[in-house]
Chains A and B, each alone.
Chain A
């Protein structure tokens, strides 16, 4: 056998004074890191298997555990970093494409952190959201361009179908298959309680969740998994997935080992078969083709549901968005390069796509210039991390945001980025029944409701500070933003001034 060059990434530190040998860590670790050695009479750990999900740390009743970065080091080199070298070892040993999960972890610029928000002083009083009305409700969909009246002068209702959001935050697409049934149930229940929407992702809608239809966005992706008439009719809106921020230009692949039982039947594929979503939709090679699918879906649902087209943020996103708006979509969802995934080739995730902040600003600007901004709503996702990111996104021109990673974190995800291993110790990104049951939707849905409610309070506070009492007045209000430490080019693209200007 060849020498294994790999180095454990983490080291498990056990305080033997505190460990009482209850073995909860051993029972709770799906990676089989912890074990009890009867000869030594104590708990031991195999660091090589640890993914640093923190399940054992969180569950240990005596706080006897911590996980630290392994300080075993290769010779330091700013160019040939340990990460670069270890990845080469891995590929030299296996010949495989490197896989990763969740969002891009590289230290690329986060523009949200270089944008600051305005507040009122003296001449324009701030508003206290606890004492005065403050509106965060918003509607997504095509807005009428003019008021029409009938021959009696009465206003004709020419409003096309809309999504009504009590908060400008929705849960982004995560398929049943990539996440567990309990995770889906948690999202569905939370969306219903919050008066917003969750998104089925491309894996179809489990029959138990049709009851949450009024708060569900059903997705139609390139694999068309689980798509049928009742499915389309079940949702409040239909999303055509053209791309995903974590892996623009790449399809999806749910391994046969995960396509079991209800995952396979919900996707309408044979059990154990790989669910492969092609990179393109094979019937869409132009805006005209996209328009056909948009209108096919509208016809199928009698024009009752808005159609969302979701794309990844790529270089010429503004032109693509313009095409989508003209293709008849009611809502454009843009997913930035930090967006999460259940599995993606590492090189794609870390190197393809552009930041959502720049994509959003350029799309909003382009649609305004073309006079078609009112034809579509814009929803952005791809690492919205807190309420300030939401406020900045809306001020840059978004109508609402999608949160996926943040929602997973609220449910217990510790961002260990090992979803592709299918052994999620938190019961989120797994189909193993013993792991899925770790996510109790009674607890997780409450956590999601808490998170979004907390953000909503904060959004109201921030808006109040600016003297704005309605989310509609914040939309595209870039005067409320200033950049710090940005070049003139970046400021121009974002359409904001530098702080001090």
Chain B
């Protein structure tokens, strides 16, 4: 299955993936249309599902790895996390906000949604109109790729 892979060697730490992620997952009607990023994100504190980890000259993006045997799904007490065609999905209607998944994810790739009462995570842009994940599409240096390995 195609997954998002990051390559530290080419990551510039520009953080554009975070903004592309936040933009792709806004509720703006015109999401994924580049012209509207200013409208969608102006004066907003973004809460992206991909995050740059960095120290000094080292940068790389971290997002859900869609593990084959995911601890988050195993630990979910509400049945909100499930695997659909290899993609780990979150059903926010079922999520009770216990944060067990956040604590159990070894990669720190799950985080609370803006409301704080449910969680959010990368779902490979399957639930928005982006098609290919927005972080991959917008990465200026091929540091984030979407491929079969």
Interface flag for A370 (CB, 8 Å): no
Q: Which residues of B contact A (CB under 8 A)?
A: 9-10, 12-16, 18-20, 23, 34-35, 37-38, 41-44, 57, 138, 140-143
Interface string of A407-437 (1 = CB under 8 A from B): 0000000000000000000000000011001
**B19 contacts A61, C-beta separation under 8 Å:** yes
Interface 1/0 per residue, A48-61 and B, CB below 8 Å:
00000000000101
- Known pairs A61-B19, A442-B142; A28 contacts B37 (CB<8 A): no
- Categorize the interface residue count of chain A: 20 to 34
Counting CB contacts under 8 A, is A347 at the interface? no
Partner of A61, one of B10, B13, B16, B143: B16
When the two chains form their complex, are residues A62 and B14 in contact, meaning their CB atoms are under 8 A apart? no
Kindly name the residue among A433, A437, A443 whose own CB sees the greatest number of chain B CB atoms within 10 A: A437
Would you list 13 pairs from A and B whose C-beta atoms are within 8 A, ordered by A residue?
Answer: A20-B41, A20-B44, A22-B18, A22-B19, A24-B19, A27-B14, A27-B15, A59-B16, A62-B38, A433-B57, A434-B57, A438-B141, A442-B142
Residues of chain A at the chain B interface (Cβ within 8 Å): 17-20, 22-24, 27-28, 59, 61-64, 433-434, 437-438, 440, 442-443
Residues of A within 8 A of B37 (CB): 20, 61-62
Q: Report B-chain residues with C-beta under 8 Å of the C-beta of A59.
A: 14, 16, 140
Chain B residues, Cβ within 8 Å of A24: 14-16, 19
Contacts of A61 in B (CB 8 A): 16, 19-20, 23, 34, 37, 138
Closest 10 CB pairs of A and B: A62-B38, A18-B38, A20-B41, A24-B14, A22-B19, A62-B37, A440-B141, A440-B10, A440-B142, A434-B57
CA–CA, A433 and B57, complex, Å? 9
The distance in angstroms between the C-alpha atoms of A24 and B12, with both chains bound, is 10
Minimum Cβ distance to chain A for residue B21 (Å): 12
Closest to A41 in B: B43
Q: In the bound complex, what is the Cα–Cα distance between A443 and B7 (angstroms)?
A: 14
Whether the pair B10, A20 counts as a contact (CB closer than 8 A) is no
Q: Which residues of A contact B9 (CB under 8 A)?
A: 437
* Nearest chain B CB to A261 CB, angstrom units: 14
B10 nearest CB neighbor, chain A only: A440
